[in-house]
Every structure is written in C-alpha cells, then in structure tokens.
Amino acid sequence: MKSRRGAAIAAACLILCLASAAHAIVVQKGVEVNGKKCDVVTWTDREGRERSIALVRADGDTKGFSGGYIEEYSYFAGDQKKTGRAWNQAQAEVSGLGVVVNHHKAFSSSKAHSAGARTEFVLEGKSHCLWRFRSEMSGMGKAVGLTVDWVIADGRSEILWSVSYDCSKLKDGEISWDARGPYFQFDWDGDGKFYDAPISGIRWGDKYRFKTTQYAREKSAWDYTEPNRVPYVMLWKDLPLGDVECGVVQTQSWAEQDAGGYWWAPKAWGKTGTGMPENWNCPFQLNAYEGYGGEKMAWGTSFGFVGSSAYARVDGQKRKGYPFQGYSVLIVNGRHTDGVTDSAIGTMESSQGAELTVREGRAVARGPRYAGLAEEADFVPPGWDALHAAWSVEAGKLGRTSLTLSVPAGRMKGTLFEIHGYPGPGPPRTVMLNQKALAGGKEVHLSVDPASRTLWITIVPEVSAGKTTLEIAP
C-alpha cells in the first residue's frame, strides 16, 4: 500500500505530466498566406477544437499597406470547419479582420495611412500569446501613436483585440476622430461571399439593446427597448444560411467605456419601429453603407472620441478622449444555435458584477488602462483587468495564491487570470478549482512569462453564479 506521502507525490507528478502534455499554442512566423507575410497562431478553444489566425506582419502586406490585422481565420461552428478570409476584391486599404479605421470630417484613416509600423510577440507562452502592432496613424496632416494588441489563449474561443491612441504630441481638440475598429472587410463564414452574402439579422448594444425583429435590410422592423450593460455588435445567419454568427463584445460596461455614436440612437432608445437609420447615422457602422446587407461589420463611436478632452458621448454626456484613448473587445465567431456572442456578453456582464476576494496574495486594484501605454486606471470592479479581460492578482508568499470569485448572476466561460509576482520558472504544481485539481491541457491552460514574472491561467470549466474558489500552489 502506498504511503500518504507517496500518494501525494504521485498525484503531483500526474498533474505535472498532464501540464507538460497539454495542448500548446503553435506560432509560425513569416508564413505566406494569400501572398502576405504573416505570423500564424494556432490554439485550442473552449470546446477543445483547433483555431488558427494569420496575422499580417508590418512588412507583410504586398500592396505596401501596414499590417496588424487578420488575413485568414479558421475555426469550428459546431462540427463545420469555417475558413474566413480578407475580402481583397475591393477596398484593399481596409480589407481584413480587425483593421483600425477612423473617420474625421470628409476623410478616413486606415492601414493606408499608417507609417513606421512594427509587429512583435510581447508574450509567447505555452498557452497564451500577445501579438502587438504599433504605428503612427495619420489623417489630414495629423498623426497619433497607434497600438493594437491581440491576445490569444488556449481554452478561450474568443480573440481579444485592444486598441490605444496616443495624442499627446497634439493639442487638445486638434483632431476629432471617431473609432470604427475592429473593422471587418472579411468573409467571416468562408462562403465566398461578402457584399452579396445573405444574413438573418442585426443586433447591437449601447445604452439599450437593438435587434431586428423582422429582418428586411433597410426596411427591417426593430426593437430598442431593453436596457443594456456591455456594448456589443453582431450579425448572424440562421440554420438555412449556415447557422453561423460573428460578434464583437466590449470588456467594460457602457458606463465605464462608451461605445456607439452619431445622432440617431438616443431618439430611438426605449422604442420599436420600422426602417433602419441612415447609413451615416448607425450607432455601430456595421453593414450600414451596404444597405444593411452582407457580412461587413464595424464598431462605432462619437466624433472627438479620439483627440478631445471633452467629446460628447452619444447621449450628450461629456467624456475624455485626450491625450489617450482606447478600448478592448472580444471577437467572436461560431455556431449561431450555440449562442456564442450571447455567451461572451453574459461572461462580460457577470465579470462586471463579480467580486474578487483574495486570501493569499491580493487583488490588483489598478493597472495599465490602454494597450502599450503607461497611463493607469482603477480596475472596475477591483481586480478586473479590462485590457486583457482577465482577473489580476498579486501572488502571495512563495507564489501561493488563494482567491474566491463571487458571481451574483449568470456564468463566465474561458475565465482568464493573471498572477503577478509569480516566482516560476515552471508552472504551478497544482491548480485547484472548488477544491478539485484541474487537468492540465483539458481543464486548465498555463503560461509562465519569466520577464514579467506573470503566470497566465485559463480556466475551462464554467464559473457559475455563487462562490468559486481558486487555489494555486507552485
């Protein structure tokens, strides 16, 4: 019979073996995809299926534009593998998924107006990576510093896209830009169509939730009566059209970081109606300029969102967009009947309402607010790092960490933690969720970043309403 000590060692060895045999992110650098030089990242999503994106490098666009966007994306919608591709047949300056686009007066900026671009992996961990694009974005003779971070994590189906603007070299109000990224000039379901692709409906959320109740392009009937918490936008195709959807979900509440712009929305909040807004007046630009048809998608904010210290939010409230501005969103692709965008919305709403209590270590209350910039802000709620959609904790003595997440309602999927001050160099000996050891590569995915002494953890099991405990022992 094994001794207790022997059994404990065997159990620890089993956990370490599981971790070492775990699925790992695969990075291929400088790969040619559709004639462009890309860094290809392949990972395992929440369902244990493979996903892969081809990120165009700064030196990779054959037309001389800057990179920083997805050229190709393979994922599963149920059992069907989809491969979406940049729609390069028209408007090459905005083709791709996740392009940065800003409008100002009668002009727009995109990857055709980006200089000094460079790309790099800031984090290249076993199960997590952060790929960064930087450049100077110009418009009408003015330039701002631009950073876009892409965060990919094993165990998480969504891709995190985070943008920041540095206007500190300009005067307050010298520019007045909106923000429409992540821009989708992208055949996201791989059906070989884009402008002429049929869809089944449109939804978005700013202060209220908008949905088409009878989709008929510009003549669609709609409902805009339900209050909303976390901004989002989505298009979908019902089962006869392929049962697939594409969405973008912000990592902060609308109260913390506004989204949606222009002038139509406040007049329609709390109402129902028929007929979509003018193309230039859609709060989220979506496929408005395509007659509210096809697969094009875009974000939306008010003018002055970038460059003004007192721009008017869509409801008229003044907000700060100078000298820095930015936001983070989750890009969602999957089967429509699985409700993948609603799942991401629910996860972000539950995160906004959750309470983090740390017994060993401490919750990080403040940190970087924008991608690649030094300015900090209080985390809301405490511990919630919206920049990475992760719970941020400072490790306890010798790296041991013990915490509780109290979720009043809903559930969270693909929950990500950043444990700072982690001693390393290897992964923890055990990760316990509700006093149960998690299986590496199946229930938990781990990466150690020695440079920043940070342990990245993705928890695959759902975090449901109530109290959930997490214990980490190096």
pLDDT band, very low/low/confident/very high, at 237 (cuts 50, 70, 90): very high
pLDDT band, very low/low/confident/very high, at 5 (cuts 50, 70, 90): very low
Neighbours of 46 (CB within 10 A): 21
State mean pLDDT over 289-298: 97
- DSSP code for 266: H
Q: Residue 94: helix, strand or coil by DSSP?
A: helix
User: CA-to-CA distance for 134 and 225, rounded, in angstroms?
Assistant: 40
Instruction: At 235, list the tokens.
Output: 């298009």
State mean pLDDT over 137-161: 96
**Which helix or strand (DSSP H or E) is residue 312 part of?**
strand 311-312
User: CA-to-CA distance for 437 and 443, rounded, in angstroms?
Assistant: 9
Would you state the pLDDT for residue 63? 81
Least-confidence region, from 102-116, 119-133, 176-190, 263-277: 102-116
Question: Could you tell me which CATH number the domain at 4-21+353-473 has?
Answer: 2.60.40
Is the whole-model pTM more than 0.85? Answer: yes
Would you state the pLDDT for residue 145? 98
Looking at the chain, the whole-number percentage of residues with pLDDT higher than 70 is 95
Name the CA dihedral angle for 234, 240, 241, 245, rounded to a multiple of 10 degrees.
30
Would you state the pLDDT for residue 403? 97
Peptide bond into 323 cis (omega under 30): yes
User: CA-to-CA distance for 73 and 83, rounded, in angstroms?
Assistant: 6
pLDDT over 90 (residue 271) = yes
Would you state the pLDDT for residue 1? 35
State mean pLDDT over 436-455: 96
User: CA-to-CA distance for 347 and 463, rounded, in angstroms?
Assistant: 9
User: CA-to-CA distance for 352 and 135, rounded, in angstroms?
Assistant: 32
Looking at the chain, the whole-number percentage of residues with pLDDT higher than 90 is 90
- DSSP code for 92: G
* Amino acid identity for residue 279 in this structure: N
Average pLDDT, the chain: 93
User: CA-to-CA distance for 346 and 351, rounded, in angstroms?
Assistant: 8
Q: How many CA atoms lie within 13 A of 308 on its CB side?
A: 17
pLDDT band, very low/low/confident/very high, at 23 (cuts 50, 70, 90): low
pLDDT over 70 (residue 302) = yes
Instruction: At 367, list the tokens.
Output: 């940190």
Angle CA 332–333–336, to nearest 5 = 110
Residue pair 436/116 in contact (Cβ under 8 Å)? The answer is no
User: CA-to-CA distance for 417 and 384, rounded, in angstroms?
Assistant: 9
Please state the domain extents for the chain: 4-21+353-473
144-to-59, 103, 114, 171, 260 alpha-carbon distances in Å: 20, 14, 10, 11, 22
Measured over all CA atoms, what is the biggest interatomic distance in the chain, rounded to whole angstroms? 80
**In 320-451, alpha helices (H):** 340-353
Residue-wise pLDDT for 64-73, tens only, equals 899 999 999 9
pLDDT over 80 (residue 75) = yes
Residue 389 makes CB contacts below 8 A (sequence gap 6+) with: 151, 160, 251, 328, 330, 348, 351, 416
**Sign of the alpha-carbon dihedral angle for 382, 388, 392, 394:** negative
Residue-wise pLDDT for 381-394, tens only, equals 999 999 999 999 99
pLDDT band, very low/low/confident/very high, at 89 (cuts 50, 70, 90): confident
Residue-wise pLDDT for 391-422, tens only, equals 999 999 989 999 999 999 999 999 999 999 99
pLDDT band, very low/low/confident/very high, at 4 (cuts 50, 70, 90): very low
